[in-house]
Structures are given as C-alpha cells and as structure tokens.
Amino acid sequence: MSHEGIRFVSEDEAKRGDLAARELPKEAIEPERVKVHKTEGTGMEIDWKDGHHSSWSFKWLRDGCPCATCNEEREREGRKPGEPKAAPKELLPFYKAPPLPEKVTPVGRYAVSFGWNDGHTSGIYSWDYLRRHCLCEACRGSLV
C-alpha cells in the first residue's frame, strides 16, 4: 500500500526481512571511499565501511534517479530503478547522448547529487538508496 510516494511496509514484509523493510547497519550505508569516474564517463564506485563494494554505470544512475518525478514515472510504467524507458517506436530514432554528469555534488554526509547532461538535477542519491540498489552478484537478488 502506498500514498504519494510513501511506501508502507506490512508486518509480513518486515518479518520476512525484505531488504526494503529492514534497517541496514550503520557501516552498510556509510562509505569508506566514493569514486565518481566523471572523466572516464563510466560510473561510480563505493567501498562501504562494512567491507562491501558497489558500482553503478552512469546510465543505471540516470535511469534510477530517486527524485519524485522520476520515481512516479517509473511506477506508472512498471519499471524498477535503473531500468531504462522503453525505446520509442520511431522509423529513424534520433541519436541520444549517453547520460553523463556535468556536476557531482555531495549532499551533507548522507548523499550525492548529479547534474546530468540532459538538464536533470533534482535527484538526491542517498547512501541508503545506493546500498539497497547494489548491483553486485551477492546483492542482486535483494533489489527493491
């Protein structure tokens, strides 16, 4: 059940230990080191204080933007964070530049924000959000 972007977790979900329902340990959502490969145009990596390593491509990060507008659009279309929009059915598709951040800004001690080359700037990627959407083999089965 949800209401205007707020997800209410049932007791059953919490008991099952779903990743979305459980609180992560502090070390799991505190970065030891954050590397944003802006010059290379490849993506971002985080080494977490609990020893885990995560990485995301810029494409995944742009498609997984956690802002309210992008989140509502994904929910309407039935897409998960990081899942791209369906390609338009055009006879001759136009070239679309790959997503690259023009600006990367820390947000307090809890998040990072990107100013994307398509003009989008409203997503705040919290450490909690990024850890819950880790794409490594071990975490892949626990994605929200």
- Taking the C-alpha atoms of residue 54 and residue 130, their distance in angstroms, rounded to an integer, is 8
* Domain assignment present for 52: yes
The verdict on residue 35 lying in a domain is yes
C-alpha torsion sign, points 125, 56, 71, 62: positive
CATH code (residue 58): 3.30.2020.30
SS3 content of the chain, % helix, strand, coil (to 5): 25, 25, 50
The answer to whether residue 25 sits within a structural domain is no
Amino acid occupying residue 82: G
For residue range 39-97, what is the model confidence (pLDDT) as tens digits?
999 999 999 999 999 999 999 999 999 999 999 999 999 999 999 988 777 767 777 88
DSSP one-letter code for 62: H
Q: Residue 9 has what pLDDT?
A: 41
What's the pTM value of the predicted model, to 2 decimals?
0.81
Report if residue 77 sits inside a domain: yes
Tell whether 123 is covered by a domain. Answer: yes
Q: What totals of helices (H) and strands (E) does the chain contain, helices first?
A: 4, 8
If one counts the domains in the chain, the total is: 1
Q: Encode pLDDT of 23-46 as tens digits.
A: 899 999 999 999 999 999 999 999
The residue range of the domain holding 61 is 31-83+100-144
Domain presence at residue 50: yes
**Is residue 107 in some structural domain?**
yes
